[in-house]
Structure 1
Amino acid sequence: MSWALISDSSCNLRDWQPTAPHTTFAFAPLKIRVGEHEFVDDLSLDVHELNCAVQAETNASSSACPSVGEWAELFKLADKTICMPISEGVSGSYNAAATARDMVLAEEPDRQIHLVNSRAAGGKMDLIFLLFDRYLASNPNVSFEDACAYFDSLEQNSKILFSLCNYENLAKAGRIPKAAGVIANKLNIRILGTASEAGKIELVGHTRGEKKMLNKIIDTMEAEGFTGGEVIIDHVENEAGAQALADRIVEHWPGSKTIIMPCSGLDSYYAEMHGLIIGYGMGVASGK
């Protein structure tokens, strides 16, 4: 029996190949409209070009979710599918995937498709897929029901943090209050936030200065119950900042493992230049 792990382009694994046997990873690209130009967030996208276009555009930009048809094609890649799009509260991507799932199952009832609300984007999603792939590789004969339960437990026990330096797109999209975004930009304030159930950035704190922000991230992870393990750090053209955070995490929790990767187009659009998206977990989702 074959497996497919499916997401949209809010997951930054991109061209990742799972290690579990007979398992495929694929994603449906979102689209980002900047002025008169539409960027398709697939493997051919020049993310730097997108970032520059977003910075130069004076009007509000927008994003569009994958179509029902795009999702339906991905749901036919394997006998068993687990799909986790960007948070339901952020985009219509989840609802389009749900419609596609129902359509495919009506035509082919023997397929098995499990749809999960990530309540996140970026690093948290990356972490869950990587840990689940490891689980599948170690349990090749696991039942679909047990695999889905394990995947759900990973989602429920993992967290996401956004460390942001620029906030214009989030403010335009209503993810944070416009006044807060304007003030933070003018005062060069770094914001630390997490994802709310409604899909907005829920502010955890703010600082002025990178070193203070690193300390704030460590304190927040500790307060959430993180005691060490695996951490994914996605960045928007800020590998140095991601590495500095990785070093602090390993220093604070010896034995922890960090993976640094660049953001896709969609995550770059929301996290903006030099932003970080951090995914980590407790218990089963720590990877320990």
Structure 2
Amino acid sequence: MSWAIVADSSCNLRGYTPQAADTKYFFAPLKINVGGEEFIDNEHLDVAELNRRVAEEEAASSSACPSVGEWAELFRTADNVIAITISANLSGSYEAAVMARELVLEEGPRNIFIVNSRAAGGKLELLVYLLDRYLTANPDATFNQATAYITDVEQSSTVMFSLCSYENLTKSGRMPKMAGMLANKLSIRILGIASDEGTIKVLGPSRSQNKIFSKIISMMESQGYCGGPVFIDHAFNETSAQALASKISEKWPSAEIVCLPCGGLCSYYAETDGLIIGYGWGIASPQA
């Protein structure tokens, strides 16, 4: 039986090759609309040019999820399909994937399971990686066993956001314009974490990167992280991503840290110098 692990492009893995036998990885691109021009969030996107255009555009930009047809095409690539989407509270990607599943299942027998990550960025990368690792270690796993595993991993993992630019948030009305202007002017960095509802809960502001990193370490420890995979996505800020990786490694030498550049969708939300950190505990720990 063949397997496909499918994500939308809020997952920043590009060119990922699964280690599990007879398993492929695909991602369905979201689109970002800027001043009437559509940017497709795939491996060919010039993310720097996208960010430049967004910064120049006075009006709010917008994003669009993969179409039902795009999801359906990917769902037809294997006997067993597990799809992982950006939070259903942030995008219509999950709903489109659900509709595509019903369409494809009408065509014939196939197994398709869809995970609402309740997050974006690093958490999706963590889910893809751990699912691949599970299928590699358990080549005879049934579809139900694999879906039970990834459901448990989703419940025992999260994502944090370290942001220091708020132009898009203010343009879209997600943040008061005056507050965004003040935060930008004072170089205030905000740390947030994905809530159970898939929205961002602000943990606190700081002008010090070291204080933000300390808060990240403290939060990870309080939730039970004890080593294992961590994905740090950065929006043109590899230096800070590597600095945070070093702090995590100092605390947990067994940490497996991967730093990745943000694709279009995540760079649109994280903005310049933003970080998105995905990690897990319990079943998503080294004992997984």
Q: TM-score, normalised by structure 1?
A: 0.96
User: What residue number does 1:173 align with?
Assistant: 172
Q: Is the 8 A contact 1:191 1:203 kept in 2?
A: yes
- Post-superposition Cα deviations, 1:132-173, rounded to whole Å, max 9, x if no partner, equal 101101111111001100011111100100000111212333
How many equivalent residue pairs? 287
For residues 270 and 117 of structure 2, the distance between their equivalents in structure 1, rounded to whole angstroms, comes to 17
Q: Is the 8 A contact 2:118 2:199 kept in 1?
A: no
AA matched with 2:62 = S
User: What residue number does 1:231 align with?
Assistant: 230
User: What residue number does 2:55 align with?
Assistant: 55
Q: Which runs of 5+ in 2 are unaligned?
A: none
Task: Give SS of 2:213's match.
Answer: helix
Q: Residue 195 of structure 1: CA displacement?
A: 1.9
Alignment of 1:105-120 (within 5 A): 105-108=105-108, 110-120=109-119
Distance 1:259 1:248, change over 3 A: same
Alignment of 1:17-96 (within 5 A): 17-96=17-96
Q: Is the 8 A contact 2:227 2:286 kept in 1?
A: no
Task: Give SS of 1:130's match.
Answer: helix
The CA RMSD measured in Å over matched residues stands at 1.4
Distance 1:74 1:238, change over 3 A: same
Is 1:190 the counterpart of 2:189? The answer is yes
Task: Give SS of 1:119's match.
Answer: coil
User: What residue number does 1:270 align with?
Assistant: 269
AA matched with 1:38 = E
My pick for the range that moved more, 248-257 or 217-226, is: 217-226
Distance 1:219 1:176, change over 3 A: farther
User: What residue number does 1:5 align with?
Assistant: 5
AA matched with 2:235 = V
Q: Residue 87 of structure 1: CA displacement?
A: 0.5
User: What residue number does 1:211 align with?
Assistant: 210
User: What residue number does 1:127 align with?
Assistant: 126
Task: Give SS of 2:273's match.
Answer: coil
For residues 179 and 142 of structure 2, the distance between their equivalents in structure 1, rounded to whole angstroms, comes to 48
Percent sequence identity is: 57
Q: Is the 8 A contact 2:59 2:171 kept in 1?
A: no
Q: TM-score, normalised by structure 2?
A: 0.96
